[in-house]
Chain A
Amino acid sequence: MNDLEPGLSPPSAKAIRLEAAMWHDRREREGWTQNDEIAFQSWLNEAAAHKVAFLRVDAAWARADRLNALRDAGRDAPFKSLSRFRSAAIRITVAGITLAAVGFAAVPYFSKSHIRTYSTAVGGHKVLALSDGSRVELNTDSSLRVEITGKRRVVWLDRGEAYFKVRADAVRPFIVKVGDHRITDIGTAFDIRRDEDRLKVFVLEGRIQLAGEGNGSRLLKDGDVAVANGSAVIVNRETERALANELGWQRGVLVFDNVTLAEAASEFNRYSHDKIVIPDPSAAKITIGATLPSNDVSAFVRVAQKIFGLHAERRGDNIVISR
């Protein structure tokens, strides 16, 4: 192929890989003739180096076919419950991380200016690739709308929790609207969780601006966690580790670090139609440190039974835990 420097001996890996990629792309073009194919085959068989470089680019290109999955909104896979976990004293670690129902979906890249809605069911999880290059992950029981045009990028988080990894764009700020609040991104990764009237924003990278209805806006930077309740906003600093724990859902786990059983149960209940109920206050106040699969209520129940010696009983959709 003619674009290569002459006289390289032996040709560098880079040169051979470039040749392989050019051949690979050329073969797809219209007007590929028998003679072209002969020339290609003779190049291919000339050296094992050509062969392996071609196999590599061919395999990578075939893998990229999966990007096709981004074309259509995915459906949630059936609920799966497989958990292998070993328990050690009070610290529980899940060996095989299991994931809740998985769905892939995306706004097609370069879509026109209409608004699209994406939702997950209870226990669901979706990865969205937005047309501007940003990535969004939706947690359980969540819903958002997306509008991306040449002029603006707006997302409405109507329910639940979403993680945003925003591609910087000086012309089109990335705005997330949550009820009366708006979060304006300044090149960042952040997570927003909405429970009824309460809004929680975790800033993982970069900076964002949080503005509420009627009150002023404030700037948040990485490590900040803002809780907005009506017009009141409280900002705390969190360690990187604590933030990573909060984002455990992306890996399909819930991380509890010294929280009460009642708090852990309400966290689990977000992901499940079966709800854990702990009417006994003395049991509800037990504290727990554990990492558990978010899609497996039974893991939580086993911890309660085996480690804390509690009693569990199913009543309809409820799992009642008591002494």
Chain B
Amino acid sequence: MAATDLDTWFVREVLPLEAALMQFLRRSWRNRADVDDLCQEVYVRVYEAAQKEIPDPARPFVFAVARNLIINRVRREHIVPIETFGDLDALAIAADEPGPDRNAIAREELRRLQAALDRLPPRCREAVVLKKIEGLSRKEIAQRMNIGEDTVHRHLTEGRLALADLLYAGKPDPDWTI
């Protein structure tokens, strides 16, 4: 898949906002079970809007979409959860702080990746490590772990899913296990 400008923009500008977005959605919407879906819905709307014109800067736009989504949901469902409106206006959009230096960022990223890796279920972690760190082929992974290639596929799929949640949402989803 050739990455388009739009896709590159989405990955670079929007995905890193996920942890903050999830936090906002969790605060604004009472039913935690809906939050993943709301986040996904925000992404869809942002992506579709960006197909026409890429919003710059991204952050206020993404949060405006999230806010509208919540407001519409509240109207549609004819319920006003007590906490819902509290935070909407107090949507703190932190000014960009001076960034830490590059080494610090690189190290932080590696720590985060390690932490994410540590939180994978053991067999899944093993498969991801063999793939990403040891650079083994799927066949070799299957041999090393003494499992079939379909099981390797399952572990690696699970690993992908979990890493995306850990790296972007910043917290594990307790139901990763496929």
Contact = CB atoms under 8 A, between A and B. Distances in A.
Interface of A: 3, 12-14, 16-18, 21-22, 24-26, 28-30, 44, 47-49, 51-53, 55-61, 63-71, 77, 80, 82, 84, 95-99, 102, 104, 108-110, 125, 127, 129, 133, 135, 167, 252
Interface on chain B toward A: helix, strand, loop, or mixed SS? helix
Contacts of A66: 109-110, 113
Given A25-B153, A127-B107, A167 B118 contact: yes
Contacts of A56: 15, 43, 164, 168
A58 B164 CA distance: 8
B47 A52 contact: yes
B96 interface: no
B48 A48 contact: yes
16 contacts: A17-B164, A21-B157, A55-B7, A57-B164, A59-B164, A60-B167, A61-B164, A63-B109, A64-B167, A68-B133, A69-B110, A97-B104, A102-B103, A102-B104, A129-B114, A129-B117
Contacts of B128: 64
B138 to A, nearest CB: 6
A104 B98 contact: no
A224 to B, nearest CB: 25
B118 A133 contact: yes
Given A25-B160, A66-B113, A69-B110, A53 B40 contact: yes
B30 interface: no
B40 A96 contact: no
A95 B168 CA distance: 26
A102 B106 CA distance: 9
A58 B116 CA distance: 16
A90 to B, nearest CB: 24
Contact of A18 (B37, B47, B178): B178
Taking each of A17, A68, A98, A125, which has the highest tally of chain B beta carbons within 10 Å of its own beta carbon? Answer: A17
Contact of A13 (B37, B101, B158): B37
B83 interface: no
A80 B118 contact: no
B133 A28 contact: no
Given A21-B157, A26-B153, 20 more contacts: A12-B36, A18-B161, A22-B153, A30-B138, A30-B139, A48-B44, A51-B47, A52-B40, A56-B15, A60-B160, A67-B113, A70-B110, A96-B101, A97-B100, A104-B106, A109-B126, A109-B130, A110-B129, A135-B118, A167-B118
A96 B37 contact: no
B97 to A, nearest CB: 9
B1 A14 contact: no
The 6 closest A-B pairs by CB, nearest first: A13-B40, A60-B164, A102-B103, A52-B43, A21-B160, A13-B36
B16 to A, nearest CB: 9
Nearest to A53: B40
